[in-house]
């Protein structure tokens, strides 16, 4: 049973934050046991490095989902490393040796439970304490969103209401939402802060319908002072949920309570969004987060290195920052991979080693497929002419098809982003990068796109 819960959890996490997290980190972790009375999940990790990484990055995520899967309020995590288990000793996170069972001081590390679910009287654990304004690096790509987020914490509900932050996946939207939550709570403990992913909102609403509790569902939001709704694009095409949300929005807005949204596109780009909801999303301030510049990437790496207390030369940081990545999550992924490689090899990191440890990533472009064949494949399945795909036309389906072509070109050829951009009439490489990360994101959330991509790919590689 524990095993199947863990597998279920990995599936959810894969959907939520991407398969790389599961493959790099969580596949190495296992759920050893579950203590239903103390609500403690014991996780086995291969070493301290993995433990501290999982703790600092995925603890809230794991706790939140395990709470749901075990159907209890606040699950606590404890860690045991494989080696420690043999010695019947457990290293706590502050490096003190303590007997087994009393594992690391997780409680003090646990995020604060910031709000209460009045329908169930359960405490909820959802704001991630690691995501602060202080740990957010500001650059040209995110400074407006950052400034707006800060402004909101100074006068919640009074300026920019709602605040709508959009941008591609892994660019810091969730981070900013939590930072707002943390800051507001810091300024005034009494304020009720609720962070909710849209997925969760939808599934709880569906549950409420099923159990005839729609009224209680709505009432639950009445006492919230700050509502943070993450990934609101997932509300697309869900009419009834939108309707419920519309009422909650109005209720909070009229009471001058602050609402903040994140989304992967601007309100106009959310398919199947009721007009009245779209216009409300645009009432306050709509601001975007873009791809980070080289300087921002470097600064982010420096910050992560300092926060994690790692030792990494500037030139290695410069090397990691210089590699093309689709977003900050991937940038973090590169850093982790390098650190993990060094820790397993028990060596300090050189540029050479960083190169080696990152060499296996992005090697999919080994096949030799022609750009035109890809274009033909996309044309065949989208119905958009090859000239249309290469034109500057910006209607929705042309743009999507063009993005798919760019994605496949990167995946199936060895050509650079610049070369792909040039093929599409001299588009900038960041445009291509943006297109590709969009498709990577869509692929995760849209079965049709996933199927379409693999069909075209199969045909091309046959």
Sites of contact with ligand ADP (CB under 6 A): 131, 135-137, 142, 169-175, 300, 328-329, 332
175 binds, among Mg ion, ligand ADP, none (CB under 5 to 8 A by kind): ligand ADP
Q: Are strands 258-263 and 122-124 parallel, antiparallel or unpaired?
A: unpaired
Q: How far is the CB of 321 from ligand ADP (least distance, A)?
A: 13
Site for Mg ion in 211-250 (CB under 5 A): none
Q: How far is the CB of 340 from ligand ADP (least distance, A)?
A: 16
> Residue 128 interacts with Mg ion (CB under 5 A)?
no
> Residue 64 interacts with Mg ion (CB under 5 A)?
no
Give the Cα separation of 350 and 303 in Å (integer): 19
The angle subtended at Cα 387 by Cα 382 and Cα 388, nearest 5°, is 55
328 binds, among Mg ion, ligand ADP, none (CB under 5 to 8 A by kind): ligand ADP
Q: How far is the CB of 67 from ligand ADP (least distance, A)?
A: 20
Answer yes or no: are the C-beta atoms of 67 and 73 closer than 8 Å: yes
Candidates 97-105, 158-166, 171-179, 251-259 — which segment interacts with Mg ion by CB under 5 A?
171-179
Residue showing the smallest CB distance to Mg ion in the complex: 174
Residue 76 or 175: the one with the smaller Cβ distance to ligand ADP is: 175
Residue 146 or 245: the one with the smaller Cβ distance to ligand ADP is: 146
Q: Name the 3-class secondary structure at 41.
A: strand
409 binds, among ligand ADP, Mg ion, none (CB under 5 to 8 A by kind): none
Q: How far is the CB of 333 from ligand ADP (least distance, A)?
A: 9
329 binds, among Mg ion, ligand ADP, none (CB under 5 to 8 A by kind): ligand ADP
298 binds, among ligand ADP, Mg ion, none (CB under 5 to 8 A by kind): none
Q: For the chain, what is the radius of gyration of the CA atoms?
A: 23
332 binds, among ligand ADP, Mg ion, none (CB under 5 to 8 A by kind): ligand ADP
Residue 79 or 261: the one with the smaller Cβ distance to Mg ion is: 261
> Residue 437 interacts with Mg ion (CB under 5 A)?
no
Q: How far is the CB of 87 from ligand ADP (least distance, A)?
A: 33
Answer yes or no: are the C-beta atoms of 235 and 202 closer than 8 Å: yes
DSSP-derived secondary structure for 396-424: HHHHHHHHHHHHHHHHHS---HHHHHHHT
Q: Residue 259: name the closest of 283, 229, 219 by CA.
A: 229
Residue 184 or 452: the one with the smaller Cβ distance to ligand ADP is: 184
CB atoms within 10 A of CB 33: 12
Give the Cα separation of 455 and 15 in Å (integer): 21
CA dihedral 280, 285, 289, 293 (to 10 degrees): 160
Give the Cα separation of 78 and 97 in Å (integer): 15
Q: Which of 103, 110, 115, 174 binds Mg ion (CB under 5 A)?
A: 174
65 binds, among Mg ion, ligand ADP, none (CB under 5 to 8 A by kind): none
Kindly state the DSSP code that residue 188 receives in the 8-state scheme.
-
Q: How far is the CB of 378 from ligand ADP (least distance, A)?
A: 26
Q: How far is the CB of 392 from Mg ion (least distance, A)?
A: 31
Beta bridge partner(s), residue 194: 227
Candidates 141-149, 173-181, 207-215, 340-348 — which segment interacts with Mg ion by CB under 5 A?
173-181
Query: In what side-by-side order are the strands of the sheet with 226-230?
Result: 193-197, 226-230, 258-263, 163-166, 285-288
Alpha helices in 220-293 (DSSP H): 239-254, 275-281
Q: How far is the CB of 80 from ligand ADP (least distance, A)?
A: 25
Residue 88 is encoded by which pair of tokens?
């019947």
302 binds, among ligand ADP, Mg ion, none (CB under 5 to 8 A by kind): none
Answer yes or no: are the C-beta atoms of 411 and 423 closer than 8 Å: no
Q: How far is the CB of 262 from ligand ADP (least distance, A)?
A: 6
Residue 140 or 207: the one with the smaller Cβ distance to ligand ADP is: 140
C-alpha distances out from residue 385 to 88, 390, 414, 450, Å: 66, 9, 25, 21
Total residues found in the chain within this entry:
462
164 binds, among Mg ion, ligand ADP, none (CB under 5 to 8 A by kind): none
Q: How far is the CB of 264 from Mg ion (least distance, A)?
A: 9
Q: How far is the CB of 240 from ligand ADP (least distance, A)?
A: 26
Residue showing the smallest CB distance to ligand ADP in the complex: 172
Kindly state the DSSP code that residue 137 receives in the 8-state scheme.
P
81 binds, among Mg ion, ligand ADP, none (CB under 5 to 8 A by kind): none
Give the Cα separation of 437 and 459 in Å (integer): 23
Residue 115 is encoded by which pair of tokens?
């709000």
Give the Cα separation of 208 and 202 in Å (integer): 10
**ω into residue 3 within 30 of 0, thus cis?**
no
Residue 20 or 218: the one with the smaller Cβ distance to Mg ion is: 20
Which residues would be at the binding site for Mg ion (CB under 5 A)? 174
């Amino acid at each position: 049973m524990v095993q199947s819960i863990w597998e279920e959890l990995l599936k959810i996490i894969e959907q939520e934050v991407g398969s790389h997290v599961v493959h790099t980190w969580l596949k190495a972790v296992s759920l050893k046991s579950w203590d239903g009375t103390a609500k403690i999940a014991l996780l086995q990790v291969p070493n301290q490095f993995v433990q501290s990484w999982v703790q600092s990055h995925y603890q809230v995520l794991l706790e939140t989902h395990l709470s749901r899967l075990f159907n209890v309020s606040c699950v606590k995590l404890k860690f045991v490393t494989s080696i420690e288990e043999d010695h019947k000793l457990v290293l706590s996170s502050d490096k003190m040796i303590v007997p087994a069972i009393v594992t690391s001081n997780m409680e003090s590390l646990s995020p604060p439970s910031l709000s209460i679910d009045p329908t169930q009287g359960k405490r909820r654990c959802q704001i991630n304490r690691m995501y602060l304004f202080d740990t957010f690096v500001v650059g040209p790509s995110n400074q407006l969103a950052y400034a707006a987020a800060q402004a909101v914490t100074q006068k919640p509900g009074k300026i920019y209401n709602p605040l709508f932050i959009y941008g591609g996946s892994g660019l810091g939207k969730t981070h900013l939402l939590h930072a707002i939550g943390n800051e507001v709570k810091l300024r005034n403990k009494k304020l009720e802060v609720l962070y909710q992913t849209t997925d969760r909102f939808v599934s709880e609403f569906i549950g409420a319908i099923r159990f005839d509790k729609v009224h209680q569902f709505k009432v639950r939001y009445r006492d919230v002072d700050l509502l943070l709704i993450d990934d609101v694009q997932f509300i697309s095409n869900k009419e009834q949920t939108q309707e419920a949300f519309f009422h909650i929005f109005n209720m909070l807005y009229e009471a001058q309570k602050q609402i903040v949204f994140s989304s992967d596109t601007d309100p106009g780009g959310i398919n199947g969004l009721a007009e009245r909801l779209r216009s409300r999303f645009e009432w306050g301030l709509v601001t975007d987060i873009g791809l980070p510049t080289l300087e921002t990437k470097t600064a982010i790496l420096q910050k992560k290195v300092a926060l994690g207390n790692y030792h990494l030369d500037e030139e290695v940081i410069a090397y990691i920052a210089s590699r093309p990545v689709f977003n900050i999550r991937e940038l973090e992924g590169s850093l982790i991979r390098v650190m993990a490689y060094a820790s397993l090899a028990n060596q300090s990191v050189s540029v050479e080693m960083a190169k080696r440890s990152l060499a296996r990533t992005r090697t999919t472009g080994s096949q030799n497929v022609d750009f035109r064949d890809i274009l033909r494949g996309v044309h065949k399945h989208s119905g958009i002419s090859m000239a249309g795909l290469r034109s500057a036309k910006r209607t929705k389906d042309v743009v999507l098809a063009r993005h798919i072509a760019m994605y496949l070109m990167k995946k199936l050829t060895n050509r650079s982003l610049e070369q792909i951009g040039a093929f599409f009439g001299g588009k900038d490489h960041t445009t291509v990068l943006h297109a590709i990360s969009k498709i990577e994101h869509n692929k995760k959330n849209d079965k049709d796109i996933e199927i379409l991509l693999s069909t075209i790919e199969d045909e091309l590689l046959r």
